Homo-oligomer: A and B are copies of this chain.
Amino acid sequence: MNLTLKRRHLLAGTAMAMGAMASGRLYAQEITEVERDLPEYVAFKQPDALIIHSNNTIETRRDAFGSALVTPEDKLYVRNNVNPPPASILDDRDSWEVSIEGVGAPGSLTLGELKQMGIESVTMVLQCSGNGRAYFDHETSGTQWQVGAAGNVMWTGVPLRTVVEMLGGADGAARFVTGTGGEEFPEGAEVRDVIVERSVPIEALDTILLAWELNGEPISLAHGGPLRMIVPGYTGVNNVKYVKRIALTEAESDAAIQQSRYRLNPVGEESGPEWPSVWEMNVKSWINQPLADRAAGPVVITGVAFGGINAVEKVEVSLDGGQSWQEAVFVGPDLGQYAWRTFAMPTELTPGQYTIVSRATDSQGNAQPEVPEANDAGYNHNGWRGPAVEIVVS
């Protein structure tokens, strides 16, 4: 299908959206405005900062990112594969139990015990595997995320490596770290079809945290409290919420979410374990301001850039849709390899039409493509053309 049809599909006929289409402009504020109330478990969030796709899929509005180095939790996107467990699991956080398997001395640990084993903190981009799906040209059935299914957040917890060593070390045959979420299912449910259980390569054991704090506060239910498995540099789904079991395993989980979902099968091919899993994130960036038509004059163009599994090295900005590029500067402290960096380029805009885009390069020399290779479900979009900002300066 062509781009026009794809856009029509997205727009779903709201007057505002049709206006945006007529003017030929496409950016976050204009295409998926949905009037809906925030569900109870995320009632603490700022409704004005969010696009509510559904109860379990809520995106940060592009104009709400501002120039924040760290994304406040009340603006952070929400994506749950299934409904969260009851809020009562937070009543006594320290008694939450997680079983650790595939180690010399397997057993259960409470969160209270984990807190006395060690502490580390990582700032990282938390990003839904499907962020940017709206920018793929082919038809996809998942949530049509634009840029806002991502945020830069600080997690604090104990390194899984520390816990594993205190329990006698990893099983020598282990090739994966498998985390199981604590969601609850009605009797009779086909649990392996719905359970949130993800496996990541054993190499991630060096960076995984069992985290109890997000941005300096106990983790909310919406974001996986009381305990979440954090895998820096990996897409959101791999960061298992309400984690109740960690196993170092020889094989990947047999759950559907691992075997037949979150796979990078080509467009039209059926998903399955023979295709690569959605794991590491790739290099990416986008502009957050300006987003709207404006008067001529000085402007500070800002956005965010990150390298995913690698550090981000540089970011360039183009005002003419990619014909010419200028390097932007990073703002504030470097929060580490897995974090995003806010970038800025002060300039002067004269009257005219602009197509503002950004292109990041990571520490391994990988640059964002103009348009990424497609995959059937629309994961890992990192093209620089998709989130272009088209504005008129008068």
Q: Which residues of B contact A66 (CB under 8 A)?
A: 213, 216-217
A121/B69 contact (C-beta < 8 A), A154-B332, A333-B334, A333-B336 known: yes
Q: Which residues of B contact A342 (CB under 8 A)?
A: 121
Interface residues in A190-233 by Cβ distance below 8 A to B read 213, 215-217
Q: Produce 1/0 per residue, A287-317, CB < 8 A to B.
A: 0000000000111101000000000000000
Q: Which residues of B contact A336 (CB under 8 A)?
A: 332-333
A72 within 8 Å of B (CB atoms) = yes
Pair A156/B69 contact, Cβ less than 8 Å: yes
Q: Which residues of B contact A68 (CB under 8 A)?
A: 156, 213, 215-217
Q: Produce 1/0 per residue, A62-84, CB < 8 A to B.
A: 00001111111001000000000
Pair A123/B333 contact, Cβ less than 8 Å: yes
Complex-state Cα separation, A52 to B213, whole angstroms? 25
Pair B216/A122 contact, Cβ less than 8 Å: no
Interface stretch, picked from A34-42, A91-99, A111-119, is: A111-119
Pair B119/A302 contact, Cβ less than 8 Å: yes
Complex-state Cα separation, A72 to B116, whole angstroms? 23
A346 within 8 Å of B (CB atoms) = yes
Complex-state Cα separation, A115 to B289, whole angstroms? 11
Pair B156/A67 contact, Cβ less than 8 Å: yes
Interface residues in A261-305 by Cβ distance below 8 A to B read 297-300, 302
Interface residues in A331-388 by Cβ distance below 8 A to B read 331-336, 339, 342, 344, 346
Pair A70/B119 contact, Cβ less than 8 Å: no
Contact among B117, B215, B297 for A70, CB-based, below 8 A: B215
Contact among B119, B332, B346 for A117, CB-based, below 8 A: B346
Quick one: closest B residue to A68, CB to CB? B216
Which of A75, A156, A213 gathers most chain B CB within 10 Å? A156
Quick one: closest B residue to A118, CB to CB? B346
Pair A117/B298 contact, Cβ less than 8 Å: yes
A320 within 8 Å of B (CB atoms) = no
Quick one: closest B residue to A65, CB to CB? B216
Complex-state Cα separation, A72 to B214, whole angstroms? 10
Which of A75, A216, A217 gathers most chain B CB within 10 Å? A216
Complex-state Cα separation, A116 to B297, whole angstroms? 9
Q: Which residues of B contact A72 (CB under 8 A)?
A: 215-217
A254 within 8 Å of B (CB atoms) = no
Q: Which residues of B contact A154 (CB under 8 A)?
A: 69-70, 332
Closest-CB distance, A75 to chain B (whole angstroms): 8
Pair A120/B331 contact, Cβ less than 8 Å: yes
Pair B300/A117 contact, Cβ less than 8 Å: yes
Which of A68, A122, A344 gathers most chain B CB within 10 Å? A68
Pair A332/B156 contact, Cβ less than 8 Å: yes
Q: Which residues of B contact A115 (CB under 8 A)?
A: 300
Pair A332/B121 contact, Cβ less than 8 Å: yes
Q: Which residues of B contact A75 (CB under 8 A)?
A: 216
Quick one: closest B residue to A67, CB to CB? B156
Quick one: closest B residue to A298, CB to CB? B116
Q: Which residues of B contact A339 (CB under 8 A)?
A: 333
Pair B116/A216 contact, Cβ less than 8 Å: no
Complex-state Cα separation, A119 to B335, whole angstroms? 17
Pair A331/B121 contact, Cβ less than 8 Å: yes
Pair B120/A332 contact, Cβ less than 8 Å: yes
Complex-state Cα separation, A388 to B184, whole angstroms? 45
Closest-CB distance, A71 to chain B (whole angstroms): 7
5 shortest A-B CB distances, which residue pairs?
A68-B216, A121-B332, A333-B336, A116-B298, A119-B344
Q: Can you list 13 A-B pairs with a CB-CB distance of less than 8 A? A: A67-B213, A67-B216, A68-B213, A68-B216, A69-B156, A70-B216, A116-B299, A118-B344, A119-B300, A119-B344, A120-B331, A123-B333, A332-B336
